[in-house]
A and B are shown apart, each in its own frame.
Chain A
């Protein structure tokens, strides 16, 4: 009986390892495909089947001016909306975690609602508002929209980070004669900076990748995802794969560097 149980356990744990590896492979498969096909030299216009290896797509990264403009617009919108969303989202999270006031729970739920709303409803409702108010669609409306969905993500991320904050550090600073302003910049801010950085990376990535809300409120502006969407029928140039791979490697490196720095800081602590 015991032998049988052992054997069962062994099979179960082996099975678990295999299953988990397959699941991870499944998660990475499209990304590997995207990167692989940035080295493809497609026959004809569509880049769906493998023909031969080339570095050309990487060397002609900036060949299509429309694509370069789209990437520029995406980066610009992502940068501006990340700065605004991270700032106002961090302030909101501080209020929600550290203060007790009326309607706190209601506000908490309200901030969460955009995350529970399908993107298509977010995009469509904004479009009806802009059309009714006759606000011309373009980069400005995209920034307004991107800040809106990013604020909620920043608040949720920062709330998790702030709830572990040791308030006694601030009390100690105050006891030692620091003004609230000094306490914030010398004690609080440096401690929550890793959280702020993590939220900013998340917001930047979400903005860069957003298609649905952008599609509704872009007007004539093409962002990177909109460019891809418009090219699906005619064939996506392989330079798109190169850009996407570049973005992926850049964000992954940023996150990895951030994690390493945090680990080093944690190790320095006595």
Chain B
């Protein structure tokens, strides 16, 4: 206590200490280790050796798995767009029209997080199955072509990813919409703006930070995901996450796996940096939840 009283500047340091130590040991150190591992050669049995000459791991890995990177980015984009299409009207409704039901609706939005991610994804297998409770009747009344398949296609993978991460899109958009000063909209109305005009020139521009934050928070987990591709896809829908998972846990080719993970990380850091340039990091770190 005495020491603290004499040096009040120590207080924040002491408060930060345990958390920073934990993150340094189990976030920063592992990432540095992984970067080092990407310059390894050898196998788990014979032991690994480090050499800068092993930088070829990168072009080799990229060459072999280019297809999966491209597919991950495509699926990530598609899922993010789908999330936006679902999230924006819902967030708008909750922010402007829901009244007293607002907190209950917000709660429903995060409720999926309270059940198992794997089971939710498997739940879609049940829902999208060829003769499922929902598709079966739709097919028998002729609304859907009876031979149509949804499961084990790129569609089901993208839809699954979008489903799992859509709350990350809804919440930031809701926060930015909710903050809008309603008097601005009233002023627009007084000045004879149409409701579409007011939306386009006031609501939408003010929602941009939320849309950006939401897109990033959806896109990041989306391109790294492998559960949806594995449970809802086919061998032709493998993403980079599936490859990394397999290389680490089945093939145990750590150098290639580390190089693949590091490149994925770089891709995302580039995205975050771009975001920071455009809108500032404070906006993002305070919007995450």
What is the size category of the interface that chain B forms with chain A?
35 or more
CB distance from A257 to the nearest CB of B (A): 13
A3: B residues at CB distance < 8 A: none
A23 near B89 with CB under 8 A, answer yes
Per-residue interface assignment for chain A, residues 3 to 19, with 1 indicating a CB less than 8 Å from any chain B CB and 0 otherwise: 00100010011001101
Pick the residue among A95, A108, A110 that contacts B23 (CB under 8 A).
A110
A174 to B86, CA, bound (A): 50
Given contacts A26-B163, A30-B124, A34-B115, contact A124 B19 (CB under 8 A): no
CB distance from B169 to the nearest CB of A (A): 11
Pick the residue among A9, A156, A209 that contacts B288 (CB under 8 A).
A156
B231: A residues at CB distance < 8 A: 232
A92 to B31, CA, bound (A): 22
Question: Is B279 interfacial (CB-CB < 8 Å)?
Answer: no
A109 to B166, CA, bound (A): 24
Given contacts A24-B108, A244-B115, contact A34 B19 (CB under 8 A): no
A114: B residues at CB distance < 8 A: 23, 27
Question: Is A131 interfacial (CB-CB < 8 Å)?
Answer: yes
CB distance from B133 to the nearest CB of A (A): 6
Pick the residue among A91, A118, A225 that contacts B16 (CB under 8 A).
A91
Question: Is B60 interfacial (CB-CB < 8 Å)?
Answer: no
A92 to B132, CA, bound (A): 49
B18 near A88 with CB under 8 A, answer yes
CB distance from A99 to the nearest CB of B (A): 4
A12 to B92, CA, bound (A): 12
B23 near A132 with CB under 8 A, answer no
Pick the residue among A23, A88, A112 that contacts B19 (CB under 8 A).
A88
Q: Which residue from chain A places its CB closest to the CB of B29 in the assembled complex?
A: A129
Per-residue interface assignment for chain B, residues 112 to 128, with 1 indicating a CB less than 8 Å from any chain A CB and 0 otherwise: 11111111111111110
Which of these binds chain A: B63-71, B177-185, B200-208, B244-252? B244-252
A24 near B115 with CB under 8 A, answer no
A124: B residues at CB distance < 8 A: 34, 244, 248, 257-258, 261
A116 near B194 with CB under 8 A, answer no
B93 near A112 with CB under 8 A, answer no
Q: Which residue from chain A places its CB closest to the CB of B175 in the assembled complex?
A: A160
Question: Is B278 interfacial (CB-CB < 8 Å)?
Answer: no
Per-residue interface assignment for chain A, residues 110 to 135, with 1 indicating a CB less than 8 Å from any chain B CB and 0 otherwise: 11111111111110111111011000
Question: Is A77 interfacial (CB-CB < 8 Å)?
Answer: no
B19 near A155 with CB under 8 A, answer yes
Question: Is B39 interfacial (CB-CB < 8 Å)?
Answer: no
Question: Is A39 interfacial (CB-CB < 8 Å)?
Answer: no
Q: Which residue from chain B places its CB closest to the CB of A40 in the assembled complex?
A: B126
A-B contact pairs, 29 of them (CB 8 A): A5-B195, A27-B112, A28-B112, A29-B123, A30-B124, A30-B127, A31-B123, A87-B18, A88-B22, A91-B19, A95-B15, A119-B221, A119-B224, A120-B224, A120-B225, A124-B248, A124-B257, A126-B26, A128-B30, A129-B30, A209-B113, A225-B117, A228-B119, A229-B118, A240-B119, A247-B114, A248-B115, A252-B114, A259-B103
Identify 6 new A-B residue pairs, CB closer than 8 A, beyond the known A129-B33, A147-B26. A24-B90, A30-B115, A30-B119, A114-B27, A155-B19, A236-B122
